[in-house]
Amino acid sequence: MQQGLFGDESVAQNCIFCKIIADKAPAHILYRDEQVLSFLDTSPVSPGHSLIIPINHHDNIFTLSDAESTAVALHAKRLAPVIKRVTDSDGLAIHQLNGRAAGQTVFHYHMHLIPCQHGASKSIHGRRLATQSALAELAERIRQDLSK
Ligand code: 5GP
Ligand code: ZN
């Protein structure tokens, strides 16, 4: 884990994504292994909007190791076609923001996978919370497709 100003423990305690990793905050998990975790965004730009994070806390790309970067990219490659298929989308956008200046709002490195339909707006951030039931139903379908 990256050394924060107040030490590792404080970073993990204050980071919502570290809390999800530690099972101390709820999330609709899609996949987990020793290096990465993926889950549905609670304020999706479109249904299926997912986030992939490294298990170790890094604020952004600038401290990410090659191995962690590779693990996130490989999982994105596996998850992208599944999300596109399950949401019946025309395309899929991948975004990754580093630093407040870039628009980053959660400071645990993450990659966005956003299903896109022709003609729909191409924003990076959603404006409304999805319902828990919609997220749960979609996560189940994605997990089932991933396990095939
Ligand atoms: P960023 O602006 O840092 O690139 O994106 C942060 C993303 O995390 C946003 O899309 C936001 O909706 C999502 N997000 C923020 N808090 C939570 C949370 O507690 N759970 C989940 N699943 N997503 C979150
Ligand atoms: Zn974190």
What is the residue-wise DSSP string for 49-61?
Answer: -EEEEESS--SSG
Active site residues: 110
The verdict on residue 7 lying in a domain is no
Binding site membership of 42 for ligand 1 (Cβ less than 6 Å): yes
Instruction: Name the residue range of residue 52's domain.
Output: 12-146
Write down the pLDDT at residue 9. 65
Cβ–Cβ under 8 Å, residues 138 and 89: no
Relative to the CA of 96, which ligand 1 atom is closest? Answer: 4
- Extract the residue ranges of the chain whose pLDDT is less than 50: 1-6
Show Cβ contacts of residue 138 under 8 Å, excluding neighbours closer than 6 positions: 28, 40, 47, 48, 86, 87
Ligand nearest to the Cα of 15, by number: 2
What CATH number is given to the structural domain containing 58?
Answer: 3.30.428.10
The verdict on residue 4 lying in a domain is no
Fill in the amino acid letter for 144: Q
Write down the pLDDT at residue 121. 83
The verdict on residue 91 lying in a domain is yes
The verdict on residue 37 lying in a domain is yes
Distance 51 CA to ligand 1 centre (A): 8
Residue closest by Cα to atom 17 of ligand 1: 42
**Considering its fold, how many domains does the chain have in total?**
1
Write down the pLDDT at residue 122. 86
Distance 100 CA to ligand 2 centre (A): 16
| CA–CA separation, 118 and 140 (whole Å) | 25
Residue list, CB under 5 A from ion ligand 2: 15, 17-18, 57, 108
Q: Give 106-143 pLDDT, tens digit per residue.
A: 999 999 999 999 999 889 999 999 999 999 999 999 99
The pTM of the full predicted model, rounded to 2 decimals, is 0.94
